[in-house]
Amino acid sequence: MKVPRTDSETKAALLTTRVTQQIKEVVEQQASREGLTASEWLRNLVIRELKNENLLPTVFKVPSTRHIRGD
């Protein structure tokens, strides 16, 4: 799950935590399976949990569409 970014969002704040070596290894394995870094995987996990608790707004973006004429 990639989190969509808007122009106004910059990641400037840092959260740190300590975990056991086993947890670190499992997180890295899961992240790797999904093609993400451990940081991206954890960020997605936190965002998903906050959205599940209705603590973050759900952002819906409508993609811009262009009709290409085949003249």
pLDDT by residue (tens digit) across 3-25? 555 556 788 999 999 999 999 99
Q: How many CB atoms lie within 10 A of CB 22?
A: 8
pLDDT digits (tens, 9 = 90+) for 15-51: 999 999 999 999 999 999 999 999 999 999 999 999 9
Those residues with Cβ within 8 angstroms of residue 47's Cβ, 6 or more apart along the chain or in another chain: 3, 56
Q: Which long-range contacts (CB under 8 A, 24 or more apart) does 44-48 make?
A: 44/1, 44/2, 44/3, 46/15, 47/3, 48/1
Tokens, residue 12: 């400037």
Q: What is the pLDDT of residue 67?
A: 63
Those residues with Cβ within 8 angstroms of residue 56's Cβ, 6 or more apart along the chain or in another chain: 47, 50
